[in-house]
């Protein structure tokens, strides 16, 4: 049971991350055990299929060894394992845990990159405040409006109640928020906060850098989005990033699914990763922006291109050298 639950827990830990990390502990204990067990079974199936290709062990070998161990346990005796089998068992335990983490992280990135959680309710995370505060709720079917561009910031208007029962209107730029283990809003953090004064009929700036508001004092909450019109080039850039992400998974898997020796698998993986890195850098250099991505010179692009061809050719040579 442990060998099924532990990979499932690791998978869920890396799947629920960032703004959705609190969902890892959400729900009844029995429900969390069942979901961890289900995820663990899937991880173990994938681990068995891929690990057997890496160490060149067939399904029948696995089956034979498992049945032998089971018969030994039925006789109330420990299975007889040699040093090589113990080493393989240790490697497999580490491999299944690492694979569970990678699969959870990769699935999270795929769902978020393709925005499947916005279009398919079954993939939606429990932290609904993230969708409201980041403006992603506007892309769902219930709140879908005409495309006004990319949401770059969120402003909120808060009607707060004080100890005297009076209400005060505060506004500011939403920079952060906290939620509890049940995904209920706890605290809102504003910058550039202002307060509307009824007596002066004017807006007054609140001195300070961060205005912290406990949500229990909020009577009403209004959300305003600031948009930046998204250019077609930005859309193409996102598609290229998604393609490169899928390409990386294929690059890392291909050598280990081949019949190469362990040393050649490691060398081929390194060469293919360098080829992928040069290709991605070359592709993203055509989309310079203020986030650190710079446009490369013509000579630099030519150098990257030939380096990509060189690494790709080396990988092909290793595959053909092994086969022929």
pLDDT value at position 324? 39
Q: Nearest to residue 159, comparing CAs of 226, 204, 202, 222?
A: 222
Measured CA to CA, the distance from residue 254 to residue 33 in angstroms comes to 33
Measured CA to CA, the distance from residue 89 to residue 100 in angstroms comes to 16
pLDDT value at position 1? 65
- pLDDT, averaged per 10 consecutive residues of the chain (324 residues), comes to 84 92 83 89 87 72 67 66 74 89 91 88 92 91 76 92 80 93 90 85 88 92 86 73 81 77 82 87 73 65 86 78 46
Dihedral of alpha carbons 123, 21, 277, 298, sign: positive
Measured CA to CA, the distance from residue 187 to residue 214 in angstroms comes to 5
pLDDT value at position 32? 85
Q: Nearest to residue 220, comparing CAs of 172, 169, 183?
A: 169
Measured CA to CA, the distance from residue 319 to residue 38 in angstroms comes to 37
pLDDT value at position 261? 77
* SS3 of residue 25 by DSSP: helix
């Amino acid at each position: 049971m442990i060998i099924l639950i532990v990979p499932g827990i690791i998978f869920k830990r890396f799947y629920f991350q960032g703004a959705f990390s609190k969902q890892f502990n959400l729900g009844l204990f029995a429900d969390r055990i069942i979901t961890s067990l289900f995820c663990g079974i899937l991880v173990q199936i994938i681990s068995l299929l891929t690990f057997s290709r890496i160490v060149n062990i067939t399904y029948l070998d696995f089956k034979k060894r498992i049945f032998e161990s089971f018969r030994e346990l039925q006789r109330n005796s420990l299975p007889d394992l040699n040093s090589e089998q113990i080493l393989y068992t240790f490697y497999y335990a580490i491999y299944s845990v690492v694979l569970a983490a990678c699969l959870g992280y990769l699935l999270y990135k795929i769902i978020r990159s393709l925005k499947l959680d916005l279009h398919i309710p079954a993939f939606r995370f429990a932290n609904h405040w993230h969708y409201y505060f980041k403006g992603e709720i506007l892309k769902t079917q219930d709140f879908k409006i005409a495309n006004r561009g990319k949401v770059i910031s969120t402003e909120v208007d808060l009607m707060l109640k004080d100890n005297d029962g009076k209400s005060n209107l505060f506004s500011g730029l939403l920079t952060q928020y906290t939620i509890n283990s049940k995904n209920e809003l706890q605290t809102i953090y504003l910058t550039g906060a202002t307060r509307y004064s009824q007596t002066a009929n004017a807006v007054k700036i609140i001195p300070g850098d961060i205005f912290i508001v406990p949500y229990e004092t909020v009577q009403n909450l209004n959300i305003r989005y600031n948009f930046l019109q998204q250019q077609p080039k930005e859309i193409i850039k996102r598609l290229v990033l998604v393609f490169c992400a899928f390409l990386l998974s294929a690059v890392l898997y291909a050598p280990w699914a081949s019949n190469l020796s362990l040393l050649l698998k490691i060398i081929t993986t390194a060469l293919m990763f360098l080829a992928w890195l040069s290709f991605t850098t070359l592709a993203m250099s055509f989309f310079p922006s203020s986030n650190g991505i710079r446009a490369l010179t013509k000579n630099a692009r030519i150098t990257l291109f030939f380096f990509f061809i060189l690494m790709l050719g080396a990988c092909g040579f290793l595959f053909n050298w092994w086969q022929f």
